[in-house]
Amino acid sequence: MAQEKLKIAIQKSGRLHDGSVNLLKECGIDVVNGVNKLKAEANNFPLEVYFFRDDDIPQYVEDAVADIGIIGENVMYESNKKVVFVEELGFATCRLSIAVRKGEEYKSASYLNGKKIATSYPVLLQNFLDKNNVKAEIHEISGSVEIAPGIGLADAICDIVSSGSTLFMNGLQEAEMILKSRTVLIKNNKLSEEKENLLKKLLFRIQSVKKAKNNKYILLNAPNEKLKEIISLLPGMKSPTVLPLAEPGWSSVHSVLNENDFWEIIEKLKANGAQGILVVPIEKMIM
């Protein structure tokens, strides 16, 4: 009997496409996609990859056209489909924000009372307005939202913001963030047992890649009289590895540091006499 294949939907082009393809590659999954093809198969993992518009992916996952999908949280919440959140993926974060014309004095959501707001996210916008007891007129448009105030269609917009350069070029300023959106993995809520097992294998790889990105491998030379203090700064995955050097009175210490604590700990290591500190990126991290 042929083995089932896990079907994953990713964005066919745009902000999340490259990150999704790179994630699969970092997970050791070899996918060859021909030009303009909507489907590809992995050569070394039971996986079929479908390339769809991001707004359509939640519907396809709900309908089991795809078993899992990679989308932004904004799309997941906006679609309101019956899908299950699985994992935050750690790339292509953005924010959904209210933006108004430059020079406008926006102090709170009450500024929007009686205003016209253009957006591609009417559900999330309406939730924000309701939460703040604001009555405003929503104009739903599918693209180029940022031009709406300039052509007199709206007084403000609600749209995805990354760098803010598009707002600037259209005479707008970001006024309030209503959602910080991460890239997430979703799944159909009725996967077969075999597909659940395949998903667990894929998740194991994804989590190993994520852990590697958040950590650095560190090697340093430490004077033995300061070894206890230096080891206390380097918890590692269990405990640091300590090896004697050829030069008497010195040891080589190997460990792993979390990216968030990296610079603070490096400063403390140097203050305690650590020398020759080498920092190496980690490709995979298996716990």
DSSP state, residue 163: S
Q: How many CA atoms within 13 Å lie on the side-chain side of 258?
A: 5
Q: What is the pLDDT of residues 157-182, one digit of tens each?
A: 999 998 888 899 999 999 999 999 99
pLDDT of residue 116: 97
pLDDT of residue 237: 60
Q: What is the pLDDT of residues 51-87, one digit of tens each?
A: 999 999 999 999 999 999 999 999 999 999 999 999 9
Angle, CA of 46, 51 and 53, to the nearest 5°: 145
The answer to whether the beta carbons of residues 50 and 9 sit under 8 Å apart is: yes
Bigger pLDDT: 263 vs 178: 178
8-33 burial, b for 16+ CB within 10 Å, e for fewer?
bbbbbeeebbebbbebbebbebebee
Strand 215-223 to 250-258 pairing: antiparallel
Bigger pLDDT: 194 vs 33: 194
Look up the CATH number of domain 94-181.
Answer: 3.40.190.10
The answer to whether the beta carbons of residues 138 and 125 sit under 8 Å apart is: yes
pLDDT at residue 261 tops 60? yes
The full set of domain ranges for the chain reads: 6-92+182-212, 94-181, 215-281
3-state secondary structure string across 130-156? HHCCCCCEEEECCCCHHHCCCCCCCCE
CA–CA distance, 210 with 23 (Å, rounded to integer): 9
CATH topology (fold) of 215-281: Alpha-Beta Plaits (3.30.70)
Q: What is the pLDDT of residues 86-142, one digit of tens each?
A: 999 988 888 999 999 999 999 999 999 999 999 999 999 999 999 999 999 999 998
Summarize the chain as % helix, strand, coil (round to 5): 30, 35, 35
pLDDT of residue 175: 95
pLDDT at residue 285 tops 80? no
pLDDT of residue 61: 97
pLDDT at residue 284 tops 90? no
Over range 10-19, report the average pLDDT.
88
The answer to whether the beta carbons of residues 125 and 77 sit under 8 Å apart is: no
Residues near 120 by beta carbon (within 8 Å), at least 6 away in sequence: 140, 141, 142, 143, 145, 159
pLDDT at residue 3 tops 70? yes
CA–CA distance, 155 with 175 (Å, rounded to integer): 13
pLDDT of residue 213: 82
155 band by pLDDT with thresholds 50, 70 and 90: very high
**Among 267, 263, 224, which residue's Cα sits nearest to residue 242?**
224
35 band by pLDDT with thresholds 50, 70 and 90: low
Q: What is the pLDDT of residues 230-250, one digit of tens each?
A: 988 886 566 788 999 998 999
CA 185, 189, 194, 200 torsion-angle sign:
positive
The answer to whether the beta carbons of residues 176 and 157 sit under 8 Å apart is: no
pLDDT of residue 259: 79
Over range 196-221, report the average pLDDT.
91
Over range 193-207, report the average pLDDT.
95
**3-state class of 230 per DSSP?**
helix
Give the mean pLDDT of the chain: 91
pLDDT of residue 215: 84
156 band by pLDDT with thresholds 50, 70 and 90: very high
Helix axes 193-213, 17-26, angle to 10 degrees: 90
Q: What is the pTM of this model?
A: 0.81
The answer to whether the beta carbons of residues 175 and 115 sit under 8 Å apart is: no
Identical fold, 6-92+182-212 and 215-281: no
Q: Which CATH architecture has domain 6-92+182-212?
A: 3-Layer(aba) Sandwich (3.40)
